[in-house]
Chains A and B, each alone.
Chain A
Amino acid sequence: MNINMEAFDQFREGVSRLPEMIPPAPEMADDERVRRFKKTIIESVAPHQAMDLETCVHCGACAEACHYYVATQDAKYTPIRKLDMLRRVYRRELGPNRWLHKLLTRDITAEELEEWQELVYDSCTECGRCSLICPMGIHIQDMIIMSREALASAGLAVAEQRALAHEQGEKDTMFGMGKDMFMQGVERLRQSGLEVPVDQPDSEILVVSTVMDAALFNDAMEGTVKIMNSLGRPWTMSTCGFEGANFGYMAGYYEYRKDASMRVISAAIDLGVKTVIAPECGHAYPALRWDGAAVYGKPFPFEVLAISEFIGREMKAGNLKVKPAFSGQKVTYHDPCKLGRMGGVFDEPREALKALGVDLVEMDVNRQQSYCCGGGAGNFIINRAAPLRAKVWELKRGQFDQTGADTVVTSCDSCRINFMVGAQDTHWEKPIESLAALVGANLAE
């Protein structure tokens, strides 16, 4: 793996010290918390969610899809249970039988909301696997997103994510890293002889990056730049819209989410590009591709592609060629939940890997049913959830081992971090590579 392990250790260190640096959450009275939680739910529930909440028959199948339940066998992680606060507010305040539920369904309390913080944040990565198993067809995942928004409005977003969302929203930095770190990454690449257009007008394509790539996953950034340069089409990065990650989106702060998304959207519009490419950062893709137009208020005048999606498409069109440099090597591909199941990108990464000549071995559970890495939706920075993530790593590691692959390839920084943490802690030696890095490093002359 061509990444700076020192930087990785520093990053882990930094995350573990976050709690001491975070200011305490603002004080809020219990009934104010309850009021705000209810308000967010009331204004957000859509008809398909209402009908979903009416349909649950308490069959418990969702537990069997959730990697946290599967890894721990602890019934409290049952996905539909994570929605209990939301469900009760819906039934008592909005549902057609609210007259009955005012009598029969208990009202929510601030104590319960505090208890539910762990369920909605630590033990849910919004991966959507539960939405696939539910026999009733309940889309549990998008109601978890609503639950986070409601908890955040009640001042109960988990501390680390609250801090990062606030920092990114107010200062456009994450972990203290912002435009400067981004430009450092650009400069490093320029010094190694690569052209990296930044803020170039008359570009067709805007490539969004992330400080995680600039600081840590340099290989992905380098690979992306090389790929873009090889295509010969006018492309650029932007100092206004350089960050694909969106902590407001993950933590449930709508305003911060909007701020982060609008930076990228405005940059794209100002530059007049036709295509925006999201970096290898899990939620960055759905935040822009599927949920970005909601904050913009209308359809985008450009298309959005994930870098792996873009790679596959260009390969199919014959514009991008790679050397079969991994001929014969056994490789398995991990489908990140936000890119695959929630994003719709499955085939393009596989096209790219095949072009690289790998012997692709699929995991027993893959594609839209793939198990989440366990740290998505910003969970990898929740310190108290580390033991929980360690259990999920055991599950994933078992899957990797079963394939007999020498290398794990994925297309998401978040997955990469989580796997690397697990590998480091359990002395698991195999490399966890980035698809963009591999493709970029093996372009055909």
Chain B
Amino acid sequence: MKKDQTVGEALRQRGVSRRGFLKFCAATASMMALSPALVPKIARALENARRPSVIWLSFQECTGCLESITRSASPTIEDLIFNVISLDYQEVLQAASGTHAEEARKAAMQENHGKYLLVVDGSIPVGNPDYSTIAGISNLDMLKETAAGAAAIVSVGSCAAFGGIPHANPNPTGAVGVSEIITDKPIINVPGCPPIPAVITGVLAHYLTFGKIPELDHLGRPVAFYGQNIHDRCYRRPFYERGKFAETFDDEGARKGWCLYKLGCKGPITYNACAVTKWNDGVSFPIQSGHGCLGCSEPNFWDKGSFYRPISAGMWGTPEGLAAAAVAGAAIGVGSALAARSRQKKASEEEGA
């Protein structure tokens, strides 16, 4: 692929019809809750867009986010679009390795300085930067030097967004998300463990179309995909309202598709597009498959107690603590009563009434 090809040229070269391309633009527009009137604008923008340089850095990650994007039974439009970005560095997909890979990265950074999109997955250990290195460079240093010339950063997955699994208690590596290190660049958080493929491509498409980042919520997540909670869009909500819950994973309620609140579903406090966009091209999502939402697009979701503990369950502390409080209360109560009794005795022995 030539680097200065437009996206439109690249697509036609691959045999994507005009109609197929417009379908994609319409689907993208609707997914981002944009007006249909904007579809021609999206189409024109994408068609004429220079294939932007994208550098994808992977730090302390499981590669699940990449798997999510690339997983497909047959080549999808998303897949094709992905291939028409100029993905100048991605450790799993690229052909090069070793010093050649690093040279390719440095060259892309130099050529597109200030214009390339930096995509990050995985958390960055700051506790001891040497916990994770690539080509002898610590994640921390690689991030800083690559972010310096980026136009914007997309933190894909909960690890890059909030620290993810490595950040979970006791966080031995001192793992953090990108936005705790880079503070002078626009960052889009696309959390999820992993995020929905269509969400990732939707965010990229938005950036390509409009040249700027979409509206973000207080956690830096695109409102278009993370603006509503799972509970509000969950198809099992009527059962929650009616008080019909699965009590165990194989009981009558579970088989009838009742609400999974009692089995620890974190839907009410999780914001993501799972209940609407779903996974595997809209086939299903965890709740539909019978497992409660883990809350994987929220910060610290590993540290909120068991996945199977309902939201309304409290973290009570130890019975010993309460027993100690009761004993202390009894002791002070006895003391108070004894002091009062001695006052009573003294008063009754006193003269003068």
- Residue numbers of A with Cβ under 8 A of B are 36, 39-40, 42-43, 45, 93-96, 98, 153
* Closest B residue to A95 using CB positions: B340
- Provide the residues of chain B in CB contact with A39, threshold 8 Å: 347, 350, 352-353
Min Cβ gap A232→B in Å is: 48
Interface size bucket, B side? 10 to 19
Whether A43 lies near B337 (C-beta < 8 A) is no
Whether B336 lies near A43 (C-beta < 8 A) is no
Say yes or no for B343: interface residue by CB 8 A criterion: yes
Q: Kindly identify which residue among A43, A95, A153 contacts B344, using a CB–CB cutoff of 8 Å.
A: A43
Whether B352 lies near A96 (C-beta < 8 A) is no
Say yes or no for B348: interface residue by CB 8 A criterion: yes
Say yes or no for B333: interface residue by CB 8 A criterion: yes
Q: In the complex, A36→B344 CA distance in Å?
A: 13
Give per-residue flags for B309-349: 1 if the beta carbon is below 8 A from chain A beta carbons, else 0.
00000000000000000000000010011001001110110
Min Cβ gap B148→A in Å is: 61
- Provide the residues of chain B in CB contact with A43, threshold 8 Å: 344-345, 347-348
- Provide the residues of chain B in CB contact with A95, threshold 8 Å: 340
* Closest B residue to A149 using CB positions: B353
Give per-residue flags for B105-145: 1 if the beta carbon is below 8 A from chain A beta carbons, else 0.
00000000000000000000000000000000000000000
Q: In the complex, A153→B340 CA distance in Å?
A: 21
By secondary structure, the B interface counts as: helix
Task: Tell which of A45, A95, A96, A98 has the most Cβ of chain B within 10 Å.
Answer: A96
- Residue numbers of B with Cβ under 8 A of A are 333, 336-337, 340, 343-345, 347-348, 350, 352-353
- Provide the residues of chain B in CB contact with A93, threshold 8 Å: 340, 343
Whether B343 lies near A96 (C-beta < 8 A) is no
Whether B340 lies near A94 (C-beta < 8 A) is yes
Beyond A36-B353, A153-B353, 5 additional pairs, beta carbon < 8 A: A36-B352, A39-B350, A39-B353, A94-B344, A98-B336
- Provide the residues of chain A in CB contact with B336, threshold 8 Å: 96, 98
Q: In the complex, A39→B344 CA distance in Å?
A: 8
Whether A96 lies near B344 (C-beta < 8 A) is no
- Provide the residues of chain A in CB contact with B347, threshold 8 Å: 39-40, 42-43
Q: A96-B336, A96-B337 are in contact. Are A42 and B344 (CB under 8 A)?
A: yes
* Closest A residue to B345 using CB positions: A43
Q: In the complex, A7→B120 CA distance in Å?
A: 110
A-B CB proximity, top 10 nearest: A43-B348, A153-B353, A43-B347, A42-B347, A94-B340, A36-B353, A96-B336, A39-B347, A39-B353, A43-B344
* Closest A residue to B341 using CB positions: A94
* Closest A residue to B337 using CB positions: A96
- Provide the residues of chain A in CB contact with B350, threshold 8 Å: 39
Whether A42 lies near B353 (C-beta < 8 A) is no
Q: In the complex, A95→B339 CA distance in Å?
A: 10
Q: In the complex, A39→B349 CA distance in Å?
A: 10
* Closest B residue to A155 using CB positions: B353
Task: Tell which of B333, B340, B343, B352 has the most Cβ of chain A within 10 Å.
Answer: B340
Min Cβ gap A266→B in Å is: 24
- Provide the residues of chain A in CB contact with B343, threshold 8 Å: 42, 93-94
Q: In the complex, A280→B350 CA distance in Å?
A: 37
Min Cβ gap B334→A in Å is: 10
* Closest B residue to A90 using CB positions: B340
Whether A40 lies near B353 (C-beta < 8 A) is yes
Q: In the complex, A94→B343 CA distance in Å?
A: 8
Q: In the complex, A98→B345 CA distance in Å?
A: 18
Q: In the complex, A95→B340 CA distance in Å?
A: 8
- Provide the residues of chain B in CB contact with A42, threshold 8 Å: 343-344, 347
* Closest A residue to B336 using CB positions: A96
Min Cβ gap A152→B in Å is: 9
Whether A96 lies near B353 (C-beta < 8 A) is no
- Provide the residues of chain A in CB contact with B352, threshold 8 Å: 36, 39
Task: Tell which of B336, B345, B352, B353 has the most Cβ of chain A within 10 Å.
Answer: B353
Q: In the complex, A365→B294 CA distance in Å?
A: 66
Q: In the complex, A121→B8 CA distance in Å?
A: 101
Min Cβ gap A30→B in Å is: 16
- Provide the residues of chain A in CB contact with B344, threshold 8 Å: 42-43, 45, 94
Min Cβ gap A102→B in Å is: 13
Q: In the complex, A36→B333 CA distance in Å?
A: 27
Q: In the complex, A43→B341 CA distance in Å?
A: 9
- Provide the residues of chain B in CB contact with A153, threshold 8 Å: 353
- A–B pairs, 17, beta carbons within 8 Å: A36-B353, A39-B352, A40-B347, A42-B343, A43-B344, A43-B345, A43-B347, A45-B344, A94-B340, A94-B343, A94-B344, A95-B340, A96-B336, A96-B337, A98-B336, A98-B340, A153-B353
Q: In the complex, A42→B341 CA distance in Å?
A: 9
Q: In the complex, A42→B353 CA distance in Å?
A: 12
Q: In the complex, A93→B346 CA distance in Å?
A: 13
* Closest A residue to B352 using CB positions: A36
- Provide the residues of chain B in CB contact with A96, threshold 8 Å: 333, 336-337
- Provide the residues of chain B in CB contact with A36, threshold 8 Å: 352-353
* Closest A residue to B349 using CB positions: A43
- Provide the residues of chain A in CB contact with B333, threshold 8 Å: 96
